[in-house]
Structure 1
Amino acid sequence: MERPDSLPPTSRLIWVERLARLLDNQFRLPGTNFRFGLDPILNLVPVLGDISGLLLSSVILATMLKHGVSRKLAILMALNIIIDTVIGAIPLLGNIFDFYYKSNARNIRLLREHYEEGKHQGSGWGLIVCIFLVLFAVLAGLVYLFVKIAEWVISYF
């Protein structure tokens, strides 16, 4: 029996692909080819949905980084997550955006292209720390924005 570490990277990352599918493409609108996942549904809950989507996407990114994606690919993946989180946090526009911009599916596609082109490089732990600091700053900004909006709403009552 093969050890899990000796399996090809794509075989070890099947659960990541399944999670990305659940978040972005699990369900199909009957009578159409339009697919969506839990991410836009979660984002209907203000702030908590955005935070949960950011955290799940970050877990996917961390796993991909652990398996040695290149720095360029890691940055592209992080940018996909940041774009999805920042624009997705805008009320109404963000909800519509979340149904179309599928950052996790984009990241899985980038990962497959990366392994098919044979550009597998080291894990880059320093880059992991930098990306998570940026993601944490985005998360902190969202929480700050939510607090300010809540204070503004409370001031009117």
Structure 2
Amino acid sequence: MVTPNTHYTRTPQSEKLKWVDHITYLMDNQFRLPGTNFRFGLDPLLGLVPFVGDLASFGVSAALVMTMARHGASGKLIVLMMINIALDVVLGSIPLIGNIFDFAFKANERNVRLLRRHYEEGRYQGSGKNIIAGVLIGLVLILVLLVWVLWQLAEWLWNVAASYF
């Protein structure tokens, strides 16, 4: 579990990424279900707000991945992180099933674990500025996919509602 007090091996680079731990904790583990060890954050709560919540969660996840890319995450690592985000965004936008999925699948926490393992294995590459354009294109494609899924969902809901009236 990622907590705001968890640190990477102390390097100047890891100090710059402390806020990533804090945001990830807020989005995925901030709250605990009373009487259990089950934790959740703002991500599934935002997902309860149709359309806007999914877009807000995507925005936070995208900002985290961009930050990690700027701080030396490899291209392969970024692709794995974007797959986590795409799963979270697409499956999380499905009504009811997506809300349950959002409580269980913690994309930001998974991405920080990937980044931590990347640093611990010594694969840190310095600045990741050479892959920023690819990351931006990938994030835009995921955003387009999210908007399309939400549009299709809204259209379907509209048709279902119209058939009852």
Shorter-chain-normalised TM-score: which range? 0.7 to 0.9
Q: What residue is the counterpart of 1:140 in the other structure?
A: 144
Matched, 1:47 2:54: no
Q: Please list, as runs of the form range in 1=range in 2, the aligned pairs for 1:1-157 lying within 5 A after superposition.
A: 7-151=11-155, 153=158, 156=162
Tell me the number of residue pairs that the alignment of Structure 1 and Structure 2 aligns: 151
Deviation at 1:73, TM superposition (A): 1.0
Q: 1:144 to 1:82 in 2, by over 3 A?
A: closer
User: Which shifted more, 72-81 or 141-150?
Assistant: 141-150
Fraction of identical pairs, as percent: 52
**CA distance in 2 between partners of 1:123 and 1:87 (Å):** 32
Q: 1:106 to 1:46 in 2, by over 3 A?
A: same
Deviation at 1:136, TM superposition (A): 1.6
TM-score between the two structures when normalised by the length of structure 1: 0.87
Moved over 3 A (4+): 122-126, 144-152
TM-score between the two structures when normalised by the length of structure 2: 0.83
Q: Runs of 5+ in structure 2 lacking a partner? A: 1-10
Q: Runs of 5+ in structure 1 lacking a partner? A: 1-6
